Amino acid sequence: MYSFGSHKLRSLKSFGVSGVLSEKADVFYSTTFSTRYIGAISDLLSARMKKSGLNELKLRALLLLSSFQGYRGQFKKRRGIQLFSRGDLDLLDHPIFLECGIDQEKIAIGVCFVLKESLNLNSEGISERILANTPQDPFEEMLVGLHYYADRIILKFQSDTRKAEVIALMAIEGKIASLPGQSQEPLEFVLLNRDHLESTPQPRAYYNLGDLDYNKALKKDHKEMSIEISSTGDFLMPSDHFESEEEIPLEVEIPQVTTETQEEIHLDLQSEEVIPEVHPVPILEPTHFGIKSFWNRFKDRIRNFLDQFFNTPEPLMEVIETAEVVEQEMEDLQLSEESIESESVIEDSGNAGHIINRLMMDLRVGAINQLLLRSSQELKEIRKGIRNPKIIHWIEGILKTVHSERSHLHSLAKGLERIIRFNEKNSKEKLLALHEEIKHKESQITVKTQALARTREHLVEITGNVERLKIASQASALDANYKKQFEMTQKMLISVKNENNQLKKSLAEKNGDPVVSQNEVDEPLEKSMSAINSGEMRKSLDGALKLVKDYKKEAEIMKARCVTLQKREVKMKIELTQLKEALEKKAL
Amino acid sequence: MEFSRKKLPKEDLSQLYRVRIETIQPFALMISPAYLYFKANEKFVSVKGPLDFFTPPEISRLKKFKYFYFPSFVASILPFREAGQKVQALLSCSDAIVESTSENPFPAIRLAPPSYEVADCVLKILGPLWWEYPNQGAGIEPYLVTIFVNELCQLLPEGQLLLGREKDVEKLDHALFRSSWVVFLALHLGYCDLNFLNDLRLRILSENMNDTAPVRYWNELDELISLSYDSLKNTRVRLIHANFFSDRSEKIAQKLEARLARVLSHFMSKGSQPPSIFGKRGFIDV
């Protein structure tokens, strides 16, 4: 019977590591589709099993090699169309099963997989080959590696289903004599078939790795980060007044309240002035009625407390509770705090400065302060009745603690107030600077707008001038045109005049009419010639054009007359010839 | 799937959930009966039963109605749908490794969480789906498991669905229940690979619908499938009890028992009205 350690292996003819472990074994398992997270798994298992004193290097090596053995033994490249496509082609179609079991003396690491068809497992002589370190194929090479780190190696194979399992056994140090380096025991090969397959023996418990408190396990050795106070001292923020840490005097003088002290209490956080030095803040002298009522109310309770003190082991808590009750009662009595508070303290809780102000007021003259003073006053009375100095000491200690806490709170409030004032100051300065910048920019804007207006006006002027010049240039151009036209019309006039004269001459010669004098024609020309200037050019031109038209009309009329005269001449010639012929005939 | 209340009165409007028809995908399995409002009848009339599906012509023909109406029962099963979405998102996490460039020589690298962390997170999502049923103990209804897996996995192939509906609706429902139950249990055991789960579901569905010989994995998956079948023999099983896996010899049963122990002690839901398809709060009158 195959054995390893003091316990016999329960079953070799079943799959699972629990068969090679005792009934008290815990088995941790994980299903995986790749070798990607083997590192994380080995981290977790190493952390989980650290206390068992295992060899971590061996454990991690065996986990890694087993995982790759299973993965490579099962992985086959996909061919054909996949119904559900896989983004990662290195993933297995179905998982391999990793188990790590631990009992009292050993650890078993097993990987269960289905051997792919392309891998032929040559079971004959496999144990000898692994022992002799002469593997035949990559599958056996991995077995050699496993064999090196493990104390025992078991290979199970079910030929009909090709289901395989490799189990590496590792002795817990000190429990089983383990061999250094390579194990001397050969690989145990177990051939299984469906008929003789046994059911897996039950371990104590199965644990999915996800059920482990992995966060805690993996961070087990890390201390929680905390910053402790330096050994060279805890430096506090600077203060502008002395913090009194003196003991509270048992006999406290209670000064009378005056209006002057009320003004001293005033704290103005809004102003930029330096805060004046804080004066001792007086309180209202408690009335005789107040002390009596307080004593009457609490004397029984204090006496009860004293009676209990001799019997109870921890009277301190009761003292604290009593003090708290007293404080509560005092608040209920509604002592005249309002008369002490400054008028400038605004009740608006929205303003941080006012809140700080109120806090400081409360610390100085509020319930805590009154409690302290009253307590110290009452203690004076109580001392007379109490014989045990421990009680007195304890009460005094509590009062000291409360006083020191109050001082601490006060210093914190001061610090906070300083910070607030500093921030307020900064923000005010920033605001002022921003206002100035705004003003400066506004002035720049006004200057620029003025300059812009001026340039616009200038532009308007310039455009006006340009327009005028344009007009002028256009006018001069017109003048030139007019000049040309005038010269042309002049020439036309002259030619028309000459024609006209000729016609008139001919007409006059025919009819004996007086010839139109040249002067009547030249005078308007001379007039127009003499009137050639830029201002009257147009008028003269118009006049000239009119004259030309008139002369043209006259010329046409003359022409028409000439034509008629010529026709008449022709007629007359014809009549003359007829007359001549008639005369000749008659003469004959 | 058979159900009661084929028609609902108009007055039930305030209790019904509206869904825009255009948001319904073809061949998506309905999580409850789907109703349409007919003005002429002044009633809500069911057009599809639970686990039934619409084809593209049906959707285009019904689009004019704008909305489908679902009974208030869906409020109790929406958490199962959400759980399916969450697990799907979780299993879809992958490494984000960006190559370094001259502009960004040290890009941030995000690795997907290790498998055991995913298994843990998945169990925390699955845990509240188990309920303590009065007088019955911890359990879960197969229909609700189907709703969860339906959301987790991809849509089933149209051919399979059409063929199944045509041949035998009850068989199709049974195949859906069984395939979903196997996937549900596989998640409990840490089988956290979405493609594998889709493949597994489809394989089981096909085998059950076609009565073909089951394909063997030759590892503990076969044991898981066998156990699933034993715990859900037919569609008349109303509740699958968590203690089914206790005191059994199978290795898978022992593993499931350990995981369910954690579920029952830490994550199981408790209340006076656990979700159920039976009774007044469901769609099957008992």
d(CA B212, CA A126): 39
Neighboring chain A residues of B191 at a CB cutoff of 8 Å: 31, 95
Q: What is the pLDDT of residue A268?
A: 42
Residue A98, in any domain of the structure: yes
d(CA A372, CA A407): 12
**Closest residue of B to A165, CA-based?**
B219
H-helix or E-strand containing B138?
strand B137-140
Question: If pLDDT is split at 50, 70 and 90, which confidence band does B185 have?
Answer: very high
User: Residue B219: its chain A contacts at CB < 8 A?
Assistant: 94, 97, 112-114, 163
Residue A12 lies in a domain: no
| pLDDT the model gives residue A480 | 67
Whether B175 and B204 have beta carbons less than 8 Å apart is answered as: yes
| Contact state of A44 with B116 under an 8 Å Cβ cutoff | yes
Distance between CA atoms of A99 and A95, rounded to whole angstroms? 13
Average pLDDT, whole number, for chain A? 75
> Per residue in A299-309, pLDDT tens?
666 666 556 54
Percent helix, strand, coil in chain A, to 5, is: 55, 10, 35
Are A51 and A191 contained in the same domain?
yes
3-state secondary structure of A157: strand
Average pLDDT, chain B: 89
Percentage of residues of chain A with pLDDT beyond 70: 66
| Predicted local distance difference test score (pLDDT) of residue A465 | 80
| Half-sphere CA count of A484, side-chain side, radius 13 A | 5
Spatial distance between the Cα atoms of B281 and A285, rounded to a whole number of angstroms: 73
* Residue A450 vs residue B188, higher pLDDT: B188
User: What are A376's two structure tokens?
Assistant: 């110290």
Contact list in A for residue B218 (CB cut-off 8 A) is 114, 158, 161-163
Which of the 8 DSSP states describes residue A91?
S
Q: What is the average per-residue pLDDT within A204-230?
A: 73
Who wins on pLDDT, A467 or A369?
A467
- Range from A190-199, A258-267, A400-409, A477-486 carrying the lowest mean pLDDT: A258-267
Q: What is the pLDDT of residue B184?
A: 97
Identify all chain A residues contacting B220, using CB atoms and an 8 Å cutoff. 15, 97, 112
Residues of A with CB under 8 A from a CB of B: 15-16, 18, 29-33, 37, 40-41, 44, 83-88, 91, 93-95, 97, 112-114, 158, 161-163, 199-200, 202, 205-212, 214
Mean pLDDT computed over A166-186: 75
User: How far is it, in rounded angstroms, from Cα A496 to Cα B11?
Assistant: 113
Same domain flag for A40 and A164: yes
Interface check B158 vs A, CB under 8 A:
no
Nearest CA-CA partner of A48 in A69, A27, A70, A24: A27
Domain assignment present for residue A101? The answer is: yes
**Same domain flag for A208 and A269:** no
Q: Which residue of A has its CA nearest to B255?
A: A206
**Distances from the Cα of A203 to the Cαs of A182, A520, B258, in angstroms?**
29, 152, 12
Length, in residues, of chain A? 588
Distance, in angstroms, between B196 CA and closest chain A CA? 6
Q: How far apart are CA A144 and CA A134, in angstroms?
A: 8
Find tokens 């569905």 and name the residue: B205
Last residue of a domain, one of A194, A216, A238: A216
Q: pLDDT digits over A499-558, tens only?
A: 888 888 887 776 665 544 555 545 555 555 554 555 667 787 788 788 888 888 888 888
Residues of A in contact with B123 (CB under 8 A): 208, 210-211
Top pLDDT among B1 and B146 is at B146
Write down the pLDDT at residue A346.
37
- Same domain as A164, residue A49: yes
**8 Å CB contact of B219 and A210:** no
Give the span between the Cα atoms of A217 and A44, in whole angstroms. Answer: 7
Interface mutation vs chain B, best among A117, A206, A212, most B CBs within 10 Å: A206
Interatomic CA distance for residues A369 and A8, integer angstroms: 79
Answer yes or no: do A43 and A179 share one domain: yes
For B196, the closest of A94, A158, A161 (CB atoms) is A94
* CATH number of the domain encompassing residue A115: 3.30.565.10
- Which of A348, A367, A385 is the last residue in one of the domains? A385
Range of weakest confidence among A186-195, A254-263, A363-372, A391-400:
A254-263
Contact yes or no for B176/B146 (Cβ under 8 A): yes
User: Are A203 and A288 in a shared domain?
Assistant: no
- The model's confidence at residue A111, banded by pLDDT at 50, 70 and 90, is very high
Element containing residue A72 per DSSP (H, E): helix A56-74
- Where residue A336 falls among pLDDT bands split at 50, 70, 90? very low
- Over residues A167-191, the mean pLDDT reads 77
A354 part of a folded domain: yes
**Residue B135 confidence class, pLDDT cut points 50, 70, 90:** confident
B220 and A114 within 8 Å at the Cβ level: the answer is no
Nearest to B116 among A94, A205, A209 (CB): A209
Cβ–Cβ contact B254 with A under 8 A: yes
Q: Pick the residue with more confidence: B154 or B94?
A: B154
Do residue A211 and residue B258 have CB atoms under 8 angstroms apart? yes
Is pLDDT of B260 > 90? yes
pLDDT greater than 60 at residue B91? yes
**How do strand A26-32 and strand A96-102 relate by DSSP bridges?**
antiparallel
How many angstroms separate the Cα of A173 from the Cα of each of A106, A180, B111, B134, B237?
Answer: 9, 11, 35, 52, 52
pLDDT of residue A261: 42
pLDDT score at A452: 85
DSSP codes joined into one string, A7-38:
SBPS-SSSSSGGGGS-TT-EEEEEEESSSTTH
Q: Is the pLDDT of residue A414 over 60?
A: yes
User: How many beta carbons lie within 10 A of that of residue A77, not counting itself?
Assistant: 8
> What's the rounded mean pLDDT across residues A17-46?
92
Are residues A33 and B194 in contact, defined by beta-carbon separation less than 8 angstroms? no
Q: Chain B partners of A33 at a C-beta cutoff of 8 Å?
A: 193, 196
Give which of A211, A213, A214, A216 to mutate to test B binding, by max B Cβ within 10 Å: A211
Which of A385, A402, A422 is the last residue before a domain boundary? A385
Q: What pLDDT score does B4 carry?
A: 85
- For the cut 50, the answer to whether the pLDDT of residue A271 exceeds it is no
- Does residue A80 or residue A24 have the better pLDDT? A24
Together in a domain, A311 and A363? yes
Between residues A144 and A393, the one the model is more confident about: A144
Q: Which of A21, A29, A31, A157 is most worth mutating to test chain B (most B CB atoms within 10 A of its CB)? A: A31
Q: Which has more confidence, A231 or B233?
A: B233
Is the residue at A435 inside a domain? no
- The alpha carbon of residue B224 is apart from the nearest alpha carbon of chain A, in Å, by 13
Residue scoring higher pLDDT (A532 or B127): B127
What is the arithmetic mean of pLDDT over A47-52? Answer: 86
Give the helix/strand (H/E) hosting B133: strand B131-133
Give the tens place of pLDDT for each residue, B19-69: 898 899 999 999 999 999 888 888 899 999 999 999 999 999 998 888 899
Which chain A residue is nearest to residue B200, measuring alpha carbons? A94
Average the pLDDT over A457-468 and give the result.
Answer: 82
Cβ B191–A31 below 8 Å, yes or no? yes
Contact A119, A73 (CB under 8 A): yes
pLDDT top residue among A122 and A343: A122
Residues A53-105 have pLDDT tens digits of 888 999 999 999 999 999 999 998 765 555 554 556 688 888 999 999 999 89
Q: Inform me whether the C-beta atom of residue B195 falls under 8 Å from chain A C-beta atoms.
A: yes
Residue B189 to residue A208, Cβ atoms within 8 A: yes
> CA B171 to CA A157: how far, in whole Å?
38
Q: Is residue A572 part of a domain?
A: no
The most confident of the ranges A189-198, A319-328, A458-467, B209-218 is: A189-198
Nearest to B116 among A30, A199, A202 (CB): A30
- pLDDT, mean of residues B181-194: 94
Place of tokens 């026709």: A567
Of residues A479, A254, A528, A211, the one with CA closest to residue A374: A254
* Nearest CB to A83 within list B193, B199, B262: B199
The two most distant CA atoms of chain A are separated, in Å, by 207
Residue A473 has pLDDT above 70, yes or no: no
Q: Are residues A47 and A168 in the same domain?
A: yes
**Percentage of residues in chain B having pLDDT higher than 70:** 100
Query: pLDDT class for A286, splitting at 50, 70, 90?
Result: very low
A202, A126, A133, A134: which is closest to A166 by C-alpha?
A126
User: Would an 8 Å CB–CB cutoff place B25 in contact with chain A?
Assistant: no
Asked if residue A448 belongs to a domain, the reply is no
- CA-based nearest residue to B183, from B208, B150, B215, B216: B150
Verify whether the Cβ–Cβ distance B196 to A93 is below 8 Å: yes
Residues A55 and A143 in one domain: yes
Complex ipTM value:
0.88
A203 and A296 share one domain: no
Residue in chain A closest to B191 (alpha carbons) equals A31
- Quick one: three-class SS letters along A474-527? HHHHHHHHHHHHHHHHHHHHHHHHHHHHHHHHHHHHHHCCCCCCHHHHHHHHHH
Q: Is B102's Cβ below 8 Å from some Cβ in A?
A: no
Residue A433 has pLDDT above 50, yes or no: yes
Residue A149 distance to chain B (closest CA, Å): 25
**Chain A closest-CA separation from residue B187 CA (Å):** 11
Token pair of A359 as six digits? 């806090």
Q: Which domain holds residue A36?
A: 17-77+90-216
Cβ separation B193–A206 shorter than 8 A: no
CB contact under 8 A, A33 and B193: yes
Q: Is pLDDT of A245 > 60?
A: no
Percentage with pLDDT > 90 across chain A: 21
pLDDT in tens, A352-392: 667 777 777 766 666 777 777 777 777 777 777 777 787 87
Measured between beta carbons, the chain A residues lying within 8 angstroms of B266 are none
Interface test with A, best of B251, B254, B265 (most A CBs within 10 A): B251
Instruction: Kindly tell me if the per-residue pLDDT of A568 is higher than 70.
Output: yes
Number of structural domains found in chain A:
2
> Chain A to chain B, count of Cβ pairs less than 8 Å apart?
110
- Measured in degrees and rounded to the nearest 5, phi and psi for residue B20 equal -70, 130
* β-bridge pairing A26-32 and A205-208: parallel
Q: Are B176 and B53 in contact (CB under 8 A)?
A: no
B114 and A37 within 8 Å at the Cβ level: the answer is: yes
Which range, of A380-384, A497-501, B187-191, B254-258, averages the lowest pLDDT? Answer: A380-384
